[in-house]
Structure 1
Amino acid sequence: MGTAPSPDDPEAWNAYLAEGNAKQARKRVAVDVIIRDADGRVLVVNPAYKPDWDLPGGMVESNEAPDDAARRELREELGLDVSLCGLLVVEWVPPHGPWDDQLAFILDGGMISDAQARALRPHDAELIEVAMVNPYRAEQLLRKRLVPRFLAAMQALENKRPCLMRNGQLIG
């Protein structure tokens, strides 16, 4: 077995790195956002393409940063521009059904005004409806796989400390 090329030979070095990159795992990445109002309600959305309610957000596209994907999804689906306030949760989700494993992020979308909350409407065909609900109601509406992640995000907001999860369970 030969030795790895040196960075002193940029062409060989880049070919070596590209070969390693091609062999590494690719992860699906999802990003959701917790958006609240002054009354402590959270924004939930009812997607047209799957059962149960969801948090606003979606899948990260190839070579897109999770925070950029979150802002893009909020603009496309809700016409909403928010300043993201940080990370709440990262969860590794194992393969399930036809899906490979994924990394799922929940980001803090901060607070919206009463006027913004009243103006929320679906802006594309992906959503049927949107609602601001108390966290207990959100827990009832959200799909079961998402509930532990949502609860961890709410805990992270309270503790001002992000959470790491693995398959629905907190780590650490």
Structure 2
Amino acid sequence: MTVAPRPGEPGRDAYLAEGNAKQARKRVAADALIRDRQDRLLLVNPTYKEGWDLPGGMAEENEPPEHAVRRELAEELGLAVGDLRFLCVDWVAPHGPWDDLLGFVFDAGVLEPEQIAQLSPQDEEISEHRFFERGEALRQLPERQRARTVQALLALDDGSPRYLQNGGPRC
């Protein structure tokens, strides 16, 4: 049995790095609820999967979720957002070929008409974007995303962030 070097002892960082390398890694997605003045939700139509989606995407290695959603909004729609407010995090169990996932949703606020006029798909991942009434937006989303979005909307409306598992509340 190897004895862990104490803080400040030689080899401590190497010992910790070895342990870190053996720990599980999580995929992280970060999406945004974005609305217009009529309280309609912005959805994007990805080219790489079926159905509409909230704007956002996957975090890169060691990227905080709020940075990921800002980067994705800029890359996909040319949109820079101000303050973000955390709404929910959803642990999604392994499914199909995918390991588990932590899916964050942030409130990115209400866009002004001038901002909306500037929105445009910026890369090949997004074919179009559109604002939908809440009910219609939810019908456009795939089941997993719909469940998470329902909870994010509840958090938006009541101000209480949510911890979810597979789209349902846990705490």
Q: Which TM bucket (shorter chain)?
A: over 0.9
Equivalent in the alignment of 2:148: 149
Q: Map 1:17-28 to 2 at 5 A.
A: 17-28=16-27
> Is residue 2:55 matched to residue 1:56?
yes
Shift of 1:123: 1.2
User: Following the alignment from structure 2 to structure 1, what is the Cα–Cα distance between the partners of residues 12 and 69?
Assistant: 35
> 1:87, CA displacement in angstroms?
0.6
Aligned to 2:4: 4
Deviations along 1:54-83, one digit per CA (max 9) or x if unpaired, are 000000000111111111111111000001
Instruction: Tell me, in whole angstroms, the C-alpha distance in 2 between the residues paired with 1:2 and 1:37.
Output: 59
Alpha-carbon distance in structure 2 between the residues aligned to 1:44 and 1:8: 51
Contact persistence 1:117–1:132 (CA under 8 A): no
- Give the Cα–Cα distance (whole angstroms) in 1 for the partners of residues 26 and 108 of structure 2: 24
For 2:22 and 2:156, locate their aligned partners in 1 and report how far apart those are by CA, in whole Å.
Answer: 37
What's the CA shift for 1:119? 3.1
1:32 aligned residue: 31
Contact 2:42 2:132 in 1 (8 A): yes
Cα deviation, residue 120, structure 1: 2.0
Q: Distance in 2 between matches of 1:27 and 1:5?
A: 28
**Alpha-carbon distance between aligned partners in 1 of 2:167 and 2:31, rounded to the nearest angstrom:** 15
**TM-score w.r.t. length of structure 1:** 0.96
Q: Secondary structure at the match of 1:146?
A: helix
1:8: how far off?
2.0
Q: Partners of 1:129 and 1:2 in 2: how far apart?
A: 56
The residue number in structure 2 matching 1:123 is 122
User: What is the distance in 2 between the residues matched to 1:77 and 1:6?
Assistant: 47
Contact 2:151 2:167 survives alignment (8 Å) = no
Instruction: Tell me what 1:68 maps to.
Output: 67
SS of structure 1 residue aligned to 2:97: coil
AA partner of residue 125 (structure 2): E
Could you tell me whether the CA contact under 8 Å between 1:84 and 1:107 is conserved in 2?
Answer: no
CA positional deviation for 1:12? 0.9
Stretches of 4+ aligned residues off by more than 6 angstroms: none
